[in-house]
Structure 1
Amino acid sequence: MGYYHYDEVFPQLATLLVVAAQSWRVSAAVELQLNVSALTTTVESDWTGVYYSDAAPLLLGNDGGTSTGGFHAWNLDDETPSPWLIPLSPAGLSCSPPHSILRAFSLPELTEAESAQIKVLDDDKGVYFFDLAESVDSPQISKLGEAEDDVTGLAVYASSRGSADYLFVAQESVIGVYDQSFELVGTLALVGLEDIEIQGLSIYQAPTEKYAEGAVVYAIEADGDVAGFGVSSLENVFEQLGIASNTAHDPRGQDHCASLSPICKQCSGNGFCSKGSDVCACFAGFAGSTCDQFQCTDNCSGHGECVGANECACDAGWGGLHCSFIVVEATYETEANGGDGDDPAIWISPEAPEKSRIITTTKSTAGAGLGVFDLTGKLLQTIYAGEPNNVDVIYNFQAGERTIDLAFAACRADDTLCLFEIISNGTLTEIPGGIQPTVDDYSVYGSCVYRSRTTGKQYLFVNEKSARYFQYELSSTANGTLETTLVRDFVGGSGGQVEGCVTDEDNGWIFLGEEPSALWRYDAEPDSEEPGVRVAYVGDGLLNADVEGVTLVPGKTADEGFVLVSTQGVSAYNIYRRAAPHAYVGTFTIARSADGQIDAVSNTDGIAAVGNALGPDFPHGLVVVHDDSNELPGGGTSDESSFKLVSLESILGAEPLASLGLLDEVDAEWDPRAERV
């Protein structure tokens, strides 16, 4: 999932725009190869920083591991015992799973300044900027330009005084070098490993013992289970780009801020003093003529008390952003399984509802495959699949002379369509033709399934991060071997990164999530040329990024039922009506259970739901969601993922939704195997 975020890249861009304006441009962009000079050992990573020091220059990097989360520091000049390894011996700092706190650490000692803690609220090809002038007004965001591919990292190379700076822009395995007008000067293609993906650039442009002209550092993934941080020497790079190098750069030598701070006692230290005026401009969360009063967004949505600067004490049953989310608890969680889960599916048993199963994905290389659980979260089976991202169930598929159920997933290891038979007891087995190819140079990501009510044909949807969707018809030979045929190729949404999708077979729709921006609806029939409909968008006051998993709760008619969407950035789920225009119903989040045995859901991704009565624990339906940080009851975090099982009744039956009679619209006897052509 991820990933650059505007708030992480704007500061560099703003710096870029305030330097002097002379350019060392060449007539055409230069294409160079940049060797990966060194690697750390395996770390789950996506961002970097550097610390300037004559004695011990440091590479700083985050650790996204669920049990080791925090960040590390390595000496940039350590000798390498092999071409690709920096000896670890890092200073490591771990942070317990998400607490929405900004922390500051002193360098090089790496000790936390606890007084600096600040509590905060929980892609595309564009590069954006805004002015860093001191102000309490919302910044005006402008687009600087557009790179050739999705932007995964940004860094500024500071030129010598009187010259313009340059912007390094990571785009998977290539770093573009741009001048201050966002004209491409040259590209640096990373080499030395297979299928390199990088993000989170930083540049160390002072000389070190090992890197005479500095180095660029980044988080890296590549074939061969390479995951960690990489370093590339910048030796001879600038000469070939026609850029004057500046190894005399010293970040401590820059002009310091004025000694007179605009933050003053007159404004209680909570705002800017206007020069020559008694008027205070208060920081967010403060109000009053001297900024001495607390203020909360939307007055805590009427469901809590404002007890600090944008800090709400929420009423019982409410939480999340400004107390605007309904809070529910999980009934069960799955046993820990797999290092990097993503998406679940619910298979409804033809024998008895309580024998239904939950199927989950593990998309990491280690433990890659599908897991099968019962309705109490007990792990019953794992089966290998090539790093599947999303999983969905196909009912009553005619494979030769047999009518069977199938599990379908997009497998990222080899960019194939993976299918498994689900036998009557819920066990997954391989099936002839169960691995189907896509097309060359296509990187599968998300997926979902669709059966046409017009023709009865079964289809598979698959997408890649670029938002290019393929629709395949699934069929079989007379002997039951599966086959696929590509029948449709289209771009979904506005072209931003996509993943989750779900189809509404009764209405002939596919809903898809464009992670940074919106929920969309398209016609699911392969011959459709109708444009997409934007159902909801980030910035409408209701939907938050990233828009990840999407699922459908069928109703008693095609106009009843609900679409549920996971919003990763706030660890919550939006509910929309199935019928157009898909009115917003509410938002819920999943908290720690009252007995402390099941942790809260954080950084959520995939979601699946059904309204069927599935036994005594779920008489009105079940919702299963991905939980990124699997916190343990006794403290600490598991290295393996879990999924939470939530009663649909606890969501739609919670106030204020209960008074709307939403549960009455859900089809508790929905039969996914019924003929609907």
Structure 2
Amino acid sequence: MSCKKNSLPVIEPVLRTELIPHDTDDPAIWVNISNPENSIVFGTDKDEINGGVYAFNLDGKIIKGKSITNISYPNNVDVAYNFKLNDSTKTDVLAFTERGKNQIRLFSVPDMKMLDNGGFKVFEDETDIAFKRPMGIAFYTDVKTESTYVIVSRKEGSKTNYLYQYAIECDSTGIQSKLVRKFGAFSGKKEIEAIAVDEELGFVYYSDEGHCVRKYYANPDKGNEEIACFGADYFRDDIEGIAIVKYENNSGFLVVSDQQNHSFSIFDRNTNAFIKAINLGTVETDGCEVTTVNLGSKFPNGLFVSMTDSKEFLFHELGNLNLSKD
């Protein structure tokens, strides 16, 4: 696998985070609505014995008290807002896959309290242990019903129903994870890891790594028919992390990592048409995430976070990416 840089000009990051111990993979951004400059970036560190989900402030420094360690191969991570704990209490939540234990984890944010009683098992009906190991995860909150779901991918799977979708619900006995559907085609070429949900438009995207970006409805009530399979001509090899840039009037972009080309391919949020490629100075990027919220003086137009293979994450000011067609 070549690490030769592409010929695109590098858009330099505002900063690089502190190093983590093992192997960076996927970031998520928690926006502190009341004080955006105190927002947190979470990033996974893959290790079978002492993996972690590290919390970073907007200076890229590790927040030890909000980091979760001693996790068995955490892979991907996501954040959701206003999860209903009961009739009167809501909390923001962090979810991540713990591949080494065939489960997903759930914590409140920003107090980082465990909500899952040690974890929710996934892909339980599979008999092949290789098909039980989760990788990607993305929240989907139905804007009408406020129902909360997680969509989970795995290291290996069949050519149909590669993804499982679970409702995350709270009742008198606590928080539960309930399987509500299986869906998603797989080319059989490599694997499926990255998942991203456009809640406002109601779509879920995932990277069939050697094939295309696939698009489905996020609401299980709308069925399991594939809407689109696009982008194949704009990647060198692995199609990886997906970040959705959301602006007013439902405009915006999909930013998708072209892993072996060390670049990102940009697509229109609505038409999914290719716009251009950009180089953010990353190497072998798996995961990325974005917010368009003003996070203060360093990131007034929003923040784009991406993993690179040097055990750190890169923070870019979103306005510097110039995502529109040149």
State the TM-score, normalized to the length of structure 1: 0.44
Please report how far the alpha carbon of residue 505 of structure 1 lies from its aligned counterpart in structure 2 after TM superposition.
0.6
1:469 maps to which residue?
A: 163
1:171 maps to which residue?
A: none
Q: Is the 8 A contact 1:338 1:367 kept in 2?
A: no
Question: Which entry has the higher C-alpha Rg, 1 or 2?
Answer: 1
- The answer to whether 1:547 aligns with 2:235 is no
- The answer to whether 1:410 aligns with 2:94 is no
How has the CA–CA distance of structure 1 residues 567 and 99 changed in structure 2, closer, same or farther, with 3 Å as cutoff?
Answer: closer
Q: Is the 8 A contact 2:217 2:227 kept in 1?
A: no
Structure 2 portions without partners, runs of 5+:
none
- Secondary structure in 2 aligned to 1:328? coil
- Secondary structure in 2 aligned to 1:379? coil
1:568 maps to which residue?
A: 259
Q: How far apart, in 2, do the equivalents of 1:99 and 1:568 lie?
A: 10
Q: Is the 8 A contact 2:301 2:317 kept in 1?
A: yes
1:460 maps to which residue?
A: 150
Q: Is the 8 A contact 1:388 1:409 kept in 2?
A: yes
- Secondary structure in 2 aligned to 1:376? coil
How has the CA–CA distance of structure 1 residues 373 and 485 changed in structure 2, closer, same or farther, with 3 Å as cutoff?
Answer: same
Q: Is the 8 A contact 2:107 2:116 kept in 1?
A: no
- The answer to whether 1:488 aligns with 2:181 is yes
1:431 is matched by which residue type in structure 2?
L
Residues 617-660 of structure 1 show CA distances to partners (whole Å, capped at 9, x for unaligned) of 111011100001x2xxxxxxxxxx1000011111027xxx476x
The counterpart of 1:389, out of the listed 75, 85, 94, is 75
The counterpart of 2:322, out of the listed 635, 645, 652, is 652
Q: How far apart, in 2, do the equivalents of 1:623 and 1:546 lie?
A: 20
Q: Is the 8 A contact 1:415 1:444 kept in 2?
A: yes
What does 1:115-154 correspond to in 2, within 5 Å? none
Residues 212-263 of structure 1 show CA distances to partners (whole Å, capped at 9, x for unaligned) of xxxxxxxxxxxxxxxxxxxxxxxxxxxxxxxxxxxxxxxxxxxxxxxxxxxx
Please report how far the alpha carbon of residue 528 of structure 1 lies from its aligned counterpart in structure 2 after TM superposition.
3.1
How much identity, in percent, do the aligned residues show? 27
Q: How far apart, in 2, do the equivalents of 1:388 and 1:329 lie?
A: 28
- Secondary structure in 2 aligned to 1:354? helix
Please report how far the alpha carbon of residue 466 of structure 1 lies from its aligned counterpart in structure 2 after TM superposition.
2.0
2:298 maps to which residue?
A: 617
Q: How far apart, in 1, do the equivalents of 2:3 and 2:291 lie?
A: 31
- The answer to whether 1:420 aligns with 2:107 is yes
Q: Is the 8 A contact 1:488 1:527 kept in 2?
A: no
- Higher fraction of strand: 2
1:347 maps to which residue?
A: 30
- Secondary structure in 1 aligned to 2:11? strand
- The answer to whether 1:360 aligns with 2:43 is yes
Structure 1 portions without partners, runs of 5+:
6-97, 101-121, 123-319, 592-600, 631-640, 660-677
Residues 365-409 of structure 1 show CA distances to partners (whole Å, capped at 9, x for unaligned) of 243121000011000022123321110001000112421011001
Please report how far the alpha carbon of residue 520 of structure 1 lies from its aligned counterpart in structure 2 after TM superposition.
1.0
What does 1:82-161 correspond to in 2, within 5 Å? 100=4
Q: CA RMSD in A?
A: 2.0
- Secondary structure in 1 aligned to 2:279? strand
Q: How far apart, in 2, do the equivalents of 1:446 and 1:574 lie?
A: 20
2:13 maps to which residue?
A: 330
1:633 maps to which residue?
A: none
How has the CA–CA distance of structure 1 residues 387 and 606 changed in structure 2, closer, same or farther, with 3 Å as cutoff?
Answer: same
How has the CA–CA distance of structure 1 residues 99 and 471 changed in structure 2, closer, same or farther, with 3 Å as cutoff?
Answer: closer
Q: How far apart, in 1, do the equivalents of 2:50 and 2:97 lie?
A: 16
- Secondary structure in 1 aligned to 2:94? strand
Please report how far the alpha carbon of residue 495 of structure 1 lies from its aligned counterpart in structure 2 after TM superposition.
4.0
How has the CA–CA distance of structure 1 residues 643 and 529 changed in structure 2, closer, same or farther, with 3 Å as cutoff?
Answer: same
- Equivalences, count: 311
1:549 is matched by which residue type in structure 2?
G
Please report how far the alpha carbon of residue 432 of structure 1 lies from its aligned counterpart in structure 2 after TM superposition.
4.7
Structure having greater relative contact order (Cα 8 Å, sep ≥ 6): 2
Residues 112-138 of structure 1 show CA distances to partners (whole Å, capped at 9, x for unaligned) of xxxxxxxxxx6xxxxxxxxxxxxxxxx
Q: Is the 8 A contact 1:395 1:406 kept in 2?
A: yes
Q: Is the 8 A contact 1:420 1:434 kept in 2?
A: no
2:115 maps to which residue?
A: 431
Q: Is the 8 A contact 2:204 2:216 kept in 1?
A: yes
Q: Is the 8 A contact 2:3 2:283 kept in 1?
A: no
Q: How far apart, in 2, do the equivalents of 1:489 and 1:353 lie?
A: 36
